[in-house]
Amino acid sequence: MELKNRYRNTESMIGHGNPSFTAAKEAGLLDLSVHNTGHGSLSLTDGREFINTCSCSYLGLDSHPDVLQGAIDVLTREKTMTMSISRLRVRLADLDALEEELTHLWRAKTVVTNSASSASAGLLPLIASGHLLPDGQKPILVFDKSAHFSMNLIKPICADETQVVTAPHNDLNFLEDLCRKHARVAYVADGFYSMGGVAIVKDLFALQDKYGLFLYFDDSHSLSIYGGAGEGYVRATMAGEVNPRTIIIGSLGKGFGTAGGAIMLGPTQHADLVGRFAGPLGWSQSLAIPAIGASVASARLHGTPELAARQKALRANVRYFDERVPTRTSGEDFPIKIIDVGPEAVAVEYSRKLMERGFYSSAVFFPIVPKGRAGLRIMLRSNISSEALRRLCDVVLELTSPGT
Amino acid sequence: MELKNRYRNTESMIGHGNPSFTAAKEAGLLDLSVHNTGHGSLSLTDGREFINTCSCSYLGLDSHPDVLQGAIDVLTREKTMTMSISRLRVRLADLDALEEELTHLWRAKTVVTNSASSASAGLLPLIASGHLLPDGQKPILVFDKSAHFSMNLIKPICADETQVVTAPHNDLNFLEDLCRKHARVAYVADGFYSMGGVAIVKDLFALQDKYGLFLYFDDSHSLSIYGGAGEGYVRATMAGEVNPRTIIIGSLGKGFGTAGGAIMLGPTQHADLVGRFAGPLGWSQSLAIPAIGASVASARLHGTPELAARQKALRANVRYFDERVPTRTSGEDFPIKIIDVGPEAVAVEYSRKLMERGFYSSAVFFPIVPKGRAGLRIMLRSNISSEALRRLCDVVLELTSPGT
C-alpha cells in the first residue's frame, strides 16, 4: 500500500473545518450577496448596509474612476471581451502595454497572468524540475509551513519532480541547515502572509548570497501598498535588478485593484520557458480584456503621487488601529490584523456581533488557521473613514474586553 | 530512492517541445500583439491584418454589443472592479444573478469560477478524496489519456488521495474492466476534446447506469455551441437533472464569449463543500466584475433565438469546411479541425504560409500532441464570412495537396 495524504488531508480539512463554516453560515457570515453603495459601504439585498473590513483592496483602487474608465475604454475601442486563444500565440496589444508599464514600474520583467494562483500552478513545477534554476538542476523544494493554500496545493505536483519539504514558519536555522546539506535548495513563501506577519526577507537574501538559495515569493498582500512604485515588500527590499535566483509573484486583484496576477522575473530568466511550459500560462485563458484596460490605468496611477497619498492614508489607518487594538502584529505597518480568539464558536460569535454593528470581518478557523486558534481577520484600507475606523475599534475593544 | 515523474516529465516536455516553439516563434507565429479591427480581423502593430482561425470564441459572442454593454453597465452601476474577498464570504449580487440565470438555462445548479482550470484544480482533489461521491468513499480515479492539460496537471494532487490511472483514449473496455474490479471508479475526460473528437458520452452513461461510474467532464469546447440553451454536448446528452454521479465543468471564455468557468452540479450534490473546500474557489479571486456583467448579458442571449441562429451559422461553416477539406474529424459537427501533418517543421512551415495569406492557425506539436504527429489546428467560427472561409479552404488545400 502506497503512502497517501503526505501533502494534504482532505478528510481532516473537511471533517474539522466544515462545522465552523456551517456555524458561520448560520450566523449570516457566508454567501453575502451585495451591491456597492458608492459611499464606502456595501448593501445587502434587504437594504442593510455594512463596511467590508475584509477586502484586500487596501488602497481602494478597485473603485478609482480612472481604473473603471480604463476598463470601459478598452471595451469601447477593441469591442471584444476576449481573444480566446493562448496569450503565447495571440494577445491584445494592451496586454503588452500593461506588461511594459509594470516592467518599467517594478524594474523587473513582468508577465501578467490570469491569477496569482495560476502563476504558482505554472511556475512551481518548473522550479521543482530545475528548469527555472540558473543551472537547470533539480533543487530540494522547501515550503514555509504558513505559505498560502495556492502554493501548498501544488506540493504533490512538485513532489513528482523532486523532494519536497515543509519548513517551520520563518525558521532560518532550518533553512540554513538544508543549504549546508544540499547543493540546491529552493524556498517557497509569502512575502507578507495572509494571516499577518512578514517573511524574513533580508535574512533570506543573506542565505541566498551565502549558499545560492533560490527564492519564490507570493507577495500578493504587499503589492501596491509597499514600495515607491507599489512593487511590494520583497521587491522593495532587493537592491538592483531581480537576480536569477529569485521569482516574485503577486495578485493584481488586491492592492492593485483590478484582477489577474503578475510574475516578476530577472532579466536573464527564462521568460520564454515560462510562457510556453508554465501550465495555465499557456492555456487559452488570458486575463479578461476589461481587466487589462483597468490594469493599465492602475499601473499609470502607480507612477503618480496618488499612490504615495493612498499608501500614506492606509498606513495612518493601520497605525491608528494598532494604537487602539493590540494584536500580535501591532507595529507591523501591514493592513492584515488578526484578533486571536481561540475557540471557533467564539470567533463566529464575535464576527456576528461585529456585523450587527455594521462591520464585516472574517471569522477564520481551521483549515485557514490551526485548530482551536480561531480568530477575527480585519483588513484595513486607505478608504475607511476615520469616523468608521474609530467606531470599528470601539466595537472590537468592547467585544474582546474581559468581562463583557 | 522514491519514484519520480510518474505523472509528469518536465524534462521531456521542454527538451522535445521547446525547439518547435522556437521554430514557431522564428516563423512569426508566437507572441503576436494585436488590435481588433472590428470588421472580423485582427491587426498587428505594423498594420498587417489577418483572420484568427484559432479563436475559441466559436459564436462571436465576445464582440456582441449586449455582452460589451453588460460589462460597461455593471461597472457604471457598481463602480468597482473587484470585491477582493472570497466569494464564499461576500460577492456581488450580479454573480448570484448570473448563477441563477445559468442554473435555469442549463437545468443544473451552476457555480461560476475564475476559470475552468481553477474549477478542476478545486474539484478533482475532492473527487479523489471521495467527498464529492454519493457515498463519500475514495474511488480509483481514471484520467483519459487525451484529457486536457488543466486536468492532467492535477493528477499528482489526486494521487496523494487515491490511486490514479491513465486510460487509453475513449477505451470503453478498459473502463468497464476497472468497473468490474473496483467498487468505485471515477473517470475524468473532456466532453469535446481540444484536439478534436468527442467523448463516448452515451456509452459512459450506460457504464454509469450499470456500475455507478462517477463522471467528470470538462466540456469547455462545446459549451454554448451545443444544445438548445448552449448547455454543451454532455449536458444535452443527459435526460432530466444532473445526477449525483456526474459533474460537468466548462469555460465561459470560449463559445460563451466572456471569461471565467462554470461548474454544473446535480441538485443533491454538495454545493456547500465545493464553495468551502474546492481550493481556488474559496480564495479571494472571484471573477472580475465586468466579466460578471458581460456573462449575465451572454446568459440572457442564450435564452433567445439569437443563440440558435449563431449555432446554425457555425454548423454551416463547419459543414462547408468538411466538404472542402478532409480531416479525421470530418462530419463531426464540432469546430476544431486538425490537419495532420507529421513532422513539426512542416507544420510550422504550413502555418507560416497560411499566415502569409492572412489566416492564423496554430501549429500544434509535442507536448500538445504526440511527437512526430504535428499538425495545424483550425477553429471555425459562426462569424467567419463565407468569402473568407472559401479562401481559407483554398489555401489549406493548396498547401496540403501532394506535389505542391
Chain A residue numbers touching B31 (CB-CB < 8 A): 88-89, 91, 275
Residue A270 is predicted with a pLDDT of 81
**Residue A295 φ/ψ, nearest 5 degrees:** -70, -35
Q: Average of pLDDT values for A120-146? A: 97
Q: Evaluate if residue B264 carries a pLDDT over 70.
A: yes
Say whether B150 and A279 touch across the interface (CB within 8 A).
Answer: yes
Residue A48 is predicted with a pLDDT of 96
Q: Evaluate if residue A404 carries a pLDDT over 80.
A: no
Closest CA of chain A from B230, distance in Å: 18
Q: Average of pLDDT values for B170-179? A: 98
Rounded distance between C-alpha atoms, residue A247 and residue A265, angstroms: 6
Chain A residue numbers touching B85 (CB-CB < 8 A): 52, 54-56, 362
Chain B residue numbers touching A62 (CB-CB < 8 A): 80-82, 84
Alpha helix segments (H runs only) across B136-232: 149-152, 155-159, 172-181, 201-211
Chain mean pLDDT for chain A: 95
For chain B, the distance separating the N- and C-terminal CA atoms, rounded to the nearest angstrom, is: 54
Say whether B291 and A288 touch across the interface (CB within 8 A).
Answer: yes
Q: Which three cell numbers stand for residue A65?
A: 474612476
Q: Average of pLDDT values for B87-91? A: 96
Q: Average of pLDDT values for B99-110? A: 97
Rounded distance between C-alpha atoms, residue B390 and residue B384, angstroms: 10
CB B198 within 8 A of CB B192: yes
Closest chain B CA to residue A3: B160
Q: Evaluate if residue A129 carries a pLDDT over 80.
A: yes
Alpha helix segments (H runs only) across A336-378: 344-356
Give the residue carrying C-alpha cell 454551416. B316
Residue B401 is predicted with a pLDDT of 84
Q: Evaluate if residue A272 carries a pLDDT over 80.
A: yes
Rounded distance between C-alpha atoms, residue B19 and residue B128, angstroms: 36
Measured CA angle at A230 (ends A228, A231), to 5 deg? 100
**Which residues neighbour A118 within 8 Å (Cβ) at sequence distance 6 or greater?**
A261, A279, A280, A281, A285, B115, B117, B118
Say whether B85 and A56 touch across the interface (CB within 8 A).
Answer: yes
Suggest the residue from A6, A74, A82 to mutate for an interface test with chain B (most B CBs closer than 10 A).
Answer: A82
Say whether A81 and B92 touch across the interface (CB within 8 A).
Answer: no
Chain A residue numbers touching B34 (CB-CB < 8 A): 83, 90-93
Q: Which has the minimum average pLDDT: A51-65, B4-18, B53-67?
A: B4-18
Of the candidates B36, B125, B159, the beta carbon closest to that of A80 is on B36
- Per DSSP, which regions of B180-270 are E strands? 185-190, 214-218, 246-251, 261-265
Of the candidates B56, B128, B129, the beta carbon closest to that of A284 is on B56
Q: Evaluate if residue B404 carries a pLDDT over 60.
A: no
Counting one residue from A and one from B, how many pairs have CB atoms under 8 Å apart?
Answer: 322
Say whether B279 and A93 touch across the interface (CB within 8 A).
Answer: no
Closest chain B CA to residue A58: B84
The ipTM estimated for the assembled molecules is 0.97
Say whether B31 and A76 touch across the interface (CB within 8 A).
Answer: no
Q: How far is CA A386 from the centre of its chain?
A: 26
Suggest the residue from B69, B82, B251, B360 to mutate for an interface test with chain A (most A CBs closer than 10 A).
Answer: B82
3-state helix, strand, coil in chain A (%, to 5): 40, 20, 40
Please report how many Cα atoms fall inside a 13 Å half-sphere around the Cα of residue A115, on the Cβ side: 24
Of the candidates A85, A117, A288, the beta carbon closest to that of B290 is on A288
SS (H, E, C) B292-328: HHHHHHHHHHHCCHHHHHHHHHHHHHHHHHHHHCCCC
The rounded percent of chain A whose pLDDT value lies above 70 is 99
What's the pLDDT tens digit per position in A2-43? 688 999 899 999 999 999 999 999 999 999 999 999 888 999
Quote the radius of gyration of chain B (alpha carbons, Å): 21
Q: Evaluate if residue A121 carries a pLDDT over 80.
A: yes
Say whether B13 and A277 touch across the interface (CB within 8 A).
Answer: yes
What's the pLDDT tens digit per position in A309-353? 999 999 999 999 999 999 988 888 899 999 999 999 999 999 999
The DSSP bridge partners found for residue A249 are A218, A263
Rounded distance between C-alpha atoms, residue A142 and residue A211, angstroms: 15
Chain B residue numbers touching A128 (CB-CB < 8 A): 10
What's the pLDDT tens digit per position in B48-73? 999 999 999 999 999 999 999 999 99
List the one residue out of B29, B47, B27, B28 whose CA is nearest residue B37.
B47
Residue B403 is predicted with a pLDDT of 60
Residue B43 is predicted with a pLDDT of 98
Q: Which three cell numbers stand for residue B18?
A: 521547446
Residue B371 is predicted with a pLDDT of 87
Instruction: Count CB-CB contacts under 10 A for residue B112.
Output: 24
Say whether B96 and A33 touch across the interface (CB within 8 A).
Answer: yes
Closest CA of chain B from A200, distance in Å: 24
Q: Which has the minimum average pLDDT: A18-27, A46-55, A277-286, B390-399?
A: A277-286
What's the pLDDT tens digit per position in A222-237? 999 999 999 999 999 9
CB B384 within 8 A of CB B317: yes
Residue A403 is predicted with a pLDDT of 60
CB A68 within 8 A of CB B81: yes
Residue B268 is predicted with a pLDDT of 78
Stated pTM of the model: 0.97
Residue B333 is predicted with a pLDDT of 85
Residue A267 is predicted with a pLDDT of 82
Of the candidates B81, B257, B272, the beta carbon closest to that of A258 is on B81
Of the candidates A121, A253, A287, the beta carbon closest to that of B121 is on A121
Whole-Å CA distances, B323 to A284, B193, B313, B319, B320:
28, 21, 15, 6, 5
CB B296 within 8 A of CB B98: yes
- Eight-state DSSP code of residue A153: T
